[in-house]
Amino acid sequence: MASTIIKDESDYDSSCSSITVPDSSRSWMSNLSFGSHSSSSVYSMGAAAATHNKPHKSNQAAWEAMKRLRREKGGQIGLDHFRLLRRLGSGDIGNVYLCQIRNPAVGSPPCLYAMKVVDREALAIRKKLVRAEMEREILRMLDHPFLPTLYAEFDASHYSCLVMEFCPGGDLYAARLLQPTKRFSISSVKFYAAETLLALEYLHMMGIVYRDLKPENVLVREDGHIMLTDFDLSLKCDVVPKLLKQKQPSMERNHVKSSTICASPSCAAPIQPVLSCFSAGMMKRFSTTMTTTITVQAINDDDNQEIHDSDHEVGTELVAEPINARSKSFVGTHEYLAPEVISGLGHGSEVDWWTFGVFLYEMLYGRTPFKGENNEKTLINILKQPLTFPRRSVGSLKEQEETERVEDLIKKLLVKNPKHRVGSLKGSVEIKRHEFFKGVNWALIRSVRPPKVPNETHTNNISKIRSHNRAFWPKALSKKERDEPYQIPQHFDYF
């Protein structure tokens, strides 16, 4: 388990509002306790959470149950409408509890949720309240199958509560430890990486630089698909989407029907980007409240050797990358830090593609690429050590070819100069084109059967691993605690 950086510096770019906190999901530290205060409830339902339609959640039991509760209570949802079952874990800014709705409708299936409880007074003392507010703001923005759904938010006294979906499959770090070789197969790596890439793509489109990608922050839902979580380190800034023309290499020109080629901007202008993960409300907000413009222009990328000046345009593609985001914050997990973060010269959205490369490496080989004897050695290795790959036994020629492809992608992601890193110019568009992802049907990836669908045995194994690697595993609440109108713990434990 890698230790984390404690240093905390504010971001400096005036065009970006950001949050920076020390990462803490890889190590447990001493607990800080804060006394309880008034227990009276104050209900405040966020307008975004109350009215925002999430089309990818339609017909799902948990979403419908929350909508029903909101209708019955006139939109005023509070803590006494939920039963806390047990504590799932603790974070730097609060605790997460497993919960369910009290008195659900007769005949409705039981629905479990994850409730994050934040002590605002305690965070104010520790000067971390702004981070919790930023995380809440980001959660309100999200509407994507591989990112958290904010079902409800409300206040109870000096506590803020966020109700999100519960992922029974644990995280990919614990799931990797369950593998016979403590690492994933090539096919599993491709599946999890593809879904994670789509989540990062959406975040960048929304002007959010994630900055905290690692297996511990990728949860596995009940259906086996992933959910990227924890936005304590995220950087929020403006983004300008662009509609770029694709080009056909001259050697393939004769294979393209002339009717499909159109180099005129007037031909490309009517084309609308197909964003299946955006609701109508989100697209409206995307074009009005954010300072964004969509333009059509020809690709001019000197670094892409496959495209030449004599090539023909054959279509358009949406590129939305926050390339102007800049920060000098020095936070995160040591083993995942990008060189530009360590140097302190400033970093932007390219850090997400570096961490994506480390993420691929760890899932494939069971360890991170630059881990040293201690934290200082790790940082030196990231800055100076060349990338190497351990030997990996393969069972077939196809697996060998796939290994070579993913290693080639990792090499292009773990380029120490961020300007030369794949994804630095056009973001996920460049990465999705890589040979490793050849054959991935991005539009229908949610229809693909995941490598592992959580069941009771799998969930129990995850619990054992987490209890082995953590200081403790939370116990279920007592019957008396569950039956009380609502229950806020007397103390919050932070690490």
Which pLDDT value is given to residue 127? Answer: 85
From the list 212, 232, 311, 352, the catalytic residue is 212
Please write the tens of the pLDDT for every residue from 191-200. 999 999 999 9
Query: Which residue type occupies 242?
Result: K
Closest CA to 82 of 493, 444, 377, 487: 487
Which pLDDT value is given to residue 3? Answer: 53
Query: Which residue type occupies 182?
Result: K
CA distance 224 to 220: 6
For 239-260, what is the mean pLDDT? 55
Closest CA to 102 of 42, 163, 160, 38: 163
Among 106-120, 140-154, 277-291, which stretch is predicted with the lowest mean pLDDT?
Answer: 277-291
Per the CB < 8 A criterion, the answer to whether 170 and 118 are in contact is no
Please write the tens of the pLDDT for every residue from 123-164. 899 888 888 888 899 999 999 999 999 999 999 999 999 999
Alpha carbon distances (Å) from 252 to 196, 246, 330, 430: 32, 13, 46, 20
The per-type count for the chain, helices as H runs and strands as E runs, is: 15, 13
pTM of the model: 0.73
CA distance 19 to 118: 16
Query: Best-predicted range by mean pLDDT among 12-21, 205-214, 242-251?
Result: 205-214
Which residues partner with 161 through β-bridges?
117, 154
Distant-in-sequence, close-in-space partners of 58: CB < 8 Å, separation ≥ 6: none
Which pLDDT value is given to residue 93? Answer: 79
Q: Which residue did the predictor score with more confidence, 390 or 250?
A: 390
pLDDT value at 342 more than 60: yes
Q: Which residue did the predictor score with more confidence, 359 or 317?
A: 359
Whether residue 143 lies in the annotated active site: no
Closest CA to 247 of 301, 302, 319, 299: 299
171: DSSP letter: B
Per the CB < 8 A criterion, the answer to whether 212 and 134 are in contact is no
